[in-house]
């Protein structure tokens, strides 16, 4: 199985900060990676797919990069509404695996 | 607008069984692979199962393999998850999520999707 190691597990940042979250795959997964945002009590929402393609309607301050085994989600200028937990998901092979999540506090 | 509505969750005793459903609308359901994802209270997301658009191919996570069965009724636009031999570790909110669209993917992208999710149904395993 492919393991997804996400870091950090939690972080605190200020409005306007640049935030970077990393996911590392235990083996190469090409660009078969998605990022999700989940706010408390809410359903996960896809932000990024194919490692770097922004989901329609998602603010452009969110971006994704990487290929192979290392991927990043960047929030260029953190906003109050970005307080949430973020997850990566590899879909290169079954079983699909999520990263452990990163809780971002403002 | 895609809508996915899960139902069938509830309280079940350890060792028991339960079937949850996911009714889809706003999509040509028979053209989409579908997934189940669960989230234990206060924990992260865990992929549970996937089924191809036709229903002919299924996949499972290691923790549920041999106990859970995913199926679908394309004539009723409904996805199912039959859960047997339930234990406390299966307590979670169960979400259905769309997978890839038939003919619109290649390689690993066919395992992706997850652009639409239901609101989830809570399954509690307890005596």
B78-106 pLDDT per residue, tens: 999 999 999 999 999 999 999 999 888 88
The residue written with tokens 């009714």 in the block is B23
pLDDT digits (tens, 9 = 90+) for B45-88: 999 999 999 999 999 999 999 999 999 999 999 999 999 999 99
Would you state the pLDDT for residue A94?
Answer: 96
The H or E element spanning position B59 is strand B58-60
CB-CB under 8 Å, B45 with A44: yes
Percent above pLDDT 70 for chain A: 100
Closest CA to B49 of A95, A29, A45, A93: A95
Closest CA to B126 of B77, B93, B80, B89: B89
- To test the contact with chain A by mutation, choose from B58, B59, B111, B113 the residue with the greatest count of A C-beta atoms within 10 A, namely B111
> Mean pLDDT, to the nearest integer, of A27-55?
97
Cα→Cα distances A94→A40, B35, B106, B119, B123, Å: 28, 12, 15, 24, 24
CA distance to partner chain A, nearest, from residue B14 (Å): 25
pLDDT digits (tens, 9 = 90+) for A19-30: 999 999 999 999
Residue in A with minimal Cα distance to B98: A46
The span from the CA of B70 to the CA of B51, in Å, is: 7
- To test the contact with chain A by mutation, choose from B34, B47, B62 the residue with the greatest count of A C-beta atoms within 10 A, namely B47
Residues of A in contact with B35 (CB under 8 A): 96
Residue in A with minimal Cα distance to B108: A92
Would you state the pLDDT for residue B105?
Answer: 84
The span from the CA of A94 to the CA of B53, in Å, is: 16
Helices H / strands E in chain B, number of each: 0, 10
Closest CA to B63 of A95, A26, A3: A95
Would you state the pLDDT for residue B83?
Answer: 98
Q: Are B127 and B16 in contact (CB under 8 A)?
A: no
């Amino acid at each position: 199985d492919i393991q997804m190691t996400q870091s950090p597990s939690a972080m605190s940042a200020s409005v306007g900060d640049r935030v970077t979250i990393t996911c590392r795959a235990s083996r190469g997964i090409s660009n078969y990676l998605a990022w999700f945002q989940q706010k408390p009590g809410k359903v996960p929402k896809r932000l990024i797919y194919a490692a770097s393609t922004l989901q329609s309607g998602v603010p452009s301050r969110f971006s994704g990069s990487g290929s192979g085994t290392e991927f990043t989600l960047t929030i260029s200028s953190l906003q109050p509404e970005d307080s949430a937990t973020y997850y990566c998901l590899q879909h290169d092979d079954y079983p699909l695996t999520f990263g452990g999540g990163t809780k971002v506090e403002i | 607008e895609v809508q996915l509505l899960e139902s069938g969750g509830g309280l079940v005793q350890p060792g028991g069984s339960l079937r949850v459903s996911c009714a889809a609308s706003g999509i040509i359901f028979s053209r989409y692979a579908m997934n189940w994802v669960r989230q234990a209270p206060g924990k992260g997301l865990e992929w549970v199962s996937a089924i191809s658009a036709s229903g002919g191919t299924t996949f499972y996570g290691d923790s549920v393999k041999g106990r859970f069965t995913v199926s679908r009724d394309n004539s009723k636009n409904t996805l199912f998850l039959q859960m047997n031999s339930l234990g406390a570790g299966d307590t979670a909110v169960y979400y259905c999520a769309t997978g890839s669209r038939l003919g619109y993917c290649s390689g690993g992208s066919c395992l992706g999707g997850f652009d639409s999710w239901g609101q989830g149904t809570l399954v509690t395993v307890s005596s």
